[in-house]
Each structure stands twice: as C-alpha cells, then as structure tokens.
Amino acid sequence: MKNRDMSQIDRLILLCRGGFEAECAAEIADLACAAGYYGYPTLEADSGYVVYHVHAPRSALELIEALRFRQLIFARQWFACAAPMLGLSSKDRLTPVAEQARQLPECAEIVVETADTTAGRELQGFCRKFVAALAPHLRQQKLLLARGEKAHWRMHLFVLSGQDLWLGVAPVRNSSPWPGGIQRLKFPREAPSRSTLKLEEAWHWFVPRREWDTRLAPGMRAVDLGAAPGGWTWQLVQRGMFVTAVDNGPMDDALMNSGQVEHLREDAFVYVPSKTVDWMVCDVVEKPARTTALVIDWARHGYARNMIFNLKLPMKQRYAEVRRCLERIETALDESGLSWRLMARHLYHDREEITCWLQLDLPGQR
C-alpha cells in the first residue's frame, strides 16, 4: 500500500435503489457505530447513493474492511474515497483523476459506475469512452497494475456528470463483483411473469453458483406460497424440482403441463405440507409482520429446510420495520433451539420489498 494520508480517505459511498437512500443511510450508521466507527451520513433523495463520513482518527479504508459487505441489506455497492472531484474541465479529466489515484491503495482493475437513476443511465456512453482512455493512462503512470495481475483492492470511478466524479477503492472480496452492484439477468420468454427474476437473482446472491447442483438439485421438493401465475414456480421447475403451488388464482398452463406441479387452491397462510420439503418460497403481497409470523411457524415445525421469502415494506419506517421482522425471526429461532442462517437483501429486481433467505439445519425428515 502506497504511503499516503489515510485520514483523507474519509468517506464511504454506498449505491442503492433510488428512493431508499434513507434506509441505506440508517443501516450504515447503525453498523458503523456498532463496529466502533463514528461519523454521519449525507444523502439526497432519489439520488441512488449515500455518503457516509468517517470521523478521524479512523478512515473509510478501515471501515470498509471492518464490516462485511454481505451484512448490508440496502447497499448494492460501496467504496472508500476522499473528497469528490468537482467542476473538472472537459479538456483534461485524466490528470486530476490520476493525481487522486496516487492516494489510493494498489489496484489491478477499475470499474466505472453511475447511480441507478435516469440521469445516471444517460451517462453510460460517456463512461465507456472515458474509462477506455483512463485505464491505459493509469497503467502508463504505474497507478494501475498490468492486465492479469491481482490486487486486494479494486478502483471505482463513480460518475455524477462529465465534470463531477468520485474515485475510490473497495476490497475485491468484500464488495459486489458487478458494476453498481447490479447483476443483469435476461427475462426468459417462457416464464409466466417478470417476478421470476426475483427468485433467480436471490439464488445468485444467497447460494454460491458452484453449489447449485447440490443445493438446488433435480428431484427436490418445493412449495411456492402465493404462486399464481407461476413466476417463482417456473424457476423451481427449471431446476428439476417437484412443486406444490399454493394459490387461489390460476396457474400458467404450460407449467401445469410439465408434470412437476401440483396446484392447490388454498390460502397460503393456512396450508401445511405433509412432510418436510427442501424449499419454501413465498412472494405473497401481505404485511411484513404476517409473513414473518408465517416463516417462524414453518421454521418451528420444520416444514422446510430452506426458505426464500419477500417482506413487503410499508411506506414509512421501512428500515425500522425490516429490523423488527428480522430480529423477531432470530429471537424465535434461538428460543426454539434451532441451528439457522438468515440473510436479507434489497435485490435489483425487488421494489418495495426485501428478499430473505433462511436456512435451517433440520435433523432428518419430520
């Protein structure tokens, strides 16, 4: 790591969905304080990002290493940086960016990002052209390692406009591997609804790809609560699972013709499986407290080994409601003496909801 004044790298940038800046800010403030790092967040509504200012003598470089990125629910991507570069001349942006890069740890790659907003998306063309010129310039200046080399840090260029930029770094293994934290998935034409992408993205986030063949294996049994018309059931069928789809509404005809789906016209909150299943998935539009109670009931009775469920968020106090629901689940599982793992994420394909994954270590069949 180069010699530099680490105190200058005193900001953490967190990218999020526009409209969820307050939730992202509240979460990072809680986690930073719990880890002994004091500071404050600043945000602009609907900007798609939050700035967390770290008080001296600690630095944002220390904070980004002290916290686990996968703990965060509302942040899609993060990086540590110094002050932004504002009002750059269009005649020479490379020189000031290179000067700021001298203050950063050694990096082997650079990723350019924008906020996930209309204004941010309109900057994509500029970003591609600029980084195509910037990367070789930084390598020529020995500020970026040669292609193929590896480093602990990744350089991030966050573009607000052609004149206003942030430059920072994130640990390669403690940040999102995707620019902006967004994994681009293609909507399969055969799927009954676009909600199918929520479950696919959840699997990518919660289940390592190398483990799909064992943890999402053909022949497994699954229950889809609130299934109609079958967007999530479609994903389960594609993995070769046998699915009980519970919903009073109609299911997609092609899914029913697969021979892998049993459709029960029942209330998702009343249905009980006859034996333990491998997966329960639930995307029911219901108050988060009621979905939380359902999940706790399924866990206590050992109805499923894995659950992926969405908590639909209220219009106000969204972060507080998320914390209440997750803490309620954790407390109930501990009191029941269960061995468990719980994660939550505001996925790219989520909107006014978060997606949760609960894994239970159940001793054999019920």
Query: Which residues have a catalytic role annotated?
Result: 312
* Residue length of the chain: 366
Provide the 10 A C-beta neighbour count for residue 217.
13
Binning the chain into helix, strand and coil, the percentages to the nearest 5 are: 35, 25, 45
Kind of pairing, strands 304-312 and 353-360? antiparallel
The CA distances from residue 282 to 55, 127, 222, 296, in Å, are: 42, 39, 11, 13
Quote the CA–CA distance of 224 and 237 in Å, as a whole number. Answer: 11
**CB burial readout 123-156, b (16+ within 10 A) else e:** beeebeebbeebbebbeeeebbeeeeeebebbbb
CB 175 within 8 A of CB 113: no
Quote the CA–CA distance of 105 and 254 in Å, as a whole number. Answer: 54
Quote the CA–CA distance of 24 and 214 in Å, as a whole number. Answer: 34
Kind of pairing, strands 49-54 and 107-113? unpaired
Asked, as a colleague might, if the bond just before 229 is cis with ω within 30 of 0, I would say yes
Closest CA to 22 of 342, 350, 313: 313
CB 229 within 8 A of CB 192: yes
CB 79 within 8 A of CB 181: no
CB 160 within 8 A of CB 117: no
Tokens matching residue 151: 């480093």
